[in-house]
Every structure is written in C-alpha cells, then in structure tokens.
Amino acid sequence: MNIVKKAFSAVYERLSLNALAKGHYDIAEKWLLKQDHVDQNHQRFLRNMGSIKLAQKKYDEAFSLFLKEMNTFGEDSARLRVLADVSFLCGKMNDANTYYKKALNCKENKKLPYLDARLKTSSNEKLFAEGRQAQEKIKKAQTLEENKE
C-alpha cells in the first residue's frame, strides 16, 4: 500500500475511534467503512466494527465480526474473552461457556479471577438466567438515566 493510502487509512480509523468514544456510532461506522474502502486488508477493521456494533447493542452482528476476526487472524486470549462476553450478551450460554474455557487455558488469562466466575455462570442455567436478568435491569436503569438528562 502506498504512503498516501496508509495515511488516509490511519486518519479514517482515528476519526472512527474518536466518534465511537463520543458515542456517535453512526459516524464511527461511516469513517470505518471509508477506511475499509481505502485499505480492505486492515487487521483492526473487524475488531473496530465489532466494537461499534457492540456499542450499538447489535450483539449478534458484533459476535459475527469478532468470530470472523478470530477465524481470520487466529485465537488469542483477548479474542476469546471478547467472544465469551459477547456470547453472554447474545444469550448463548453454550458458546459463552466454550469461549470462557478456552480463554482460561491461555496463560495471559490465568491472573484474571473474574473469568472463573464467568465460567461458573455460563456452566449453570440458573446462574446464567440470573446474570441475563441483571443485565436487563442494568439496561433499564441506563435508559431511565438517559431519559432523565
């Protein structure tokens, strides 16, 4: 890739991440798609677009993008944790359990005690359902807080 395309790619990615941080998800997506047009092989595209979809609460789309990233670039501790957490958000107990187990097998994750708790939650239907109910209550509280402002 020539230096001009590389520069545009970096600028578009930065503009996208800035918009994402400000909560302007549609703008973030627009800039990221411009980056993809300039640089179709950008390694962080799938992760960044997955993050945008996650922020938009489009969990199934986010899961698909993160899974494609892992299948394209390989398993690592961070990708496995993200897939596990997004599986939980999608209500996919078995997938969450599978990815938490794999994540715990990575030496980088051995020092993350919350993963043991999440594995326990994703291994038990009752705990998983309670976790999902808590998630819904948090969403409701966030909505009430947003409407209050």
**Nearest alpha carbon to residue 76 among 96, 48, 111, 106:** 106
pLDDT, residue 149, reads: 63
What pLDDT does 22 receive?
96
- Structure-model confidence comparison of residues 23 and 112, the more confident one: 23
What's the CA gap between 63 and 73, in Å, rounded? Answer: 15
Banded model confidence at residue 136, pLDDT cuts 50, 70, 90: confident
Percent of the residues in the chain that have a pLDDT greater than 70, as a whole number: 99
Residue 29 pLDDT exceeds 80: yes
Question: Higher confidence at residue 24 or residue 112?
Answer: 24
DSSP 28-47: HHHHHHHHHHH-TT-TTHHH
Q: Note the pLDDT tens digit of each residue in 72-107.
A: 999 999 999 999 999 999 999 999 999 999 998 888
Q: What is the rounded average pLDDT of the residues 125-143?
A: 90
Grade residue 1 by pLDDT with cuts at 50, 70 and 90. Answer: low
Paired tokens of 72 = 């394209």
- The pTM (predicted TM-score) of the whole model is 0.85
**Interatomic CA distance for residues 81 and 17, integer angstroms:** 21
Mean of pLDDT over the chain: 91
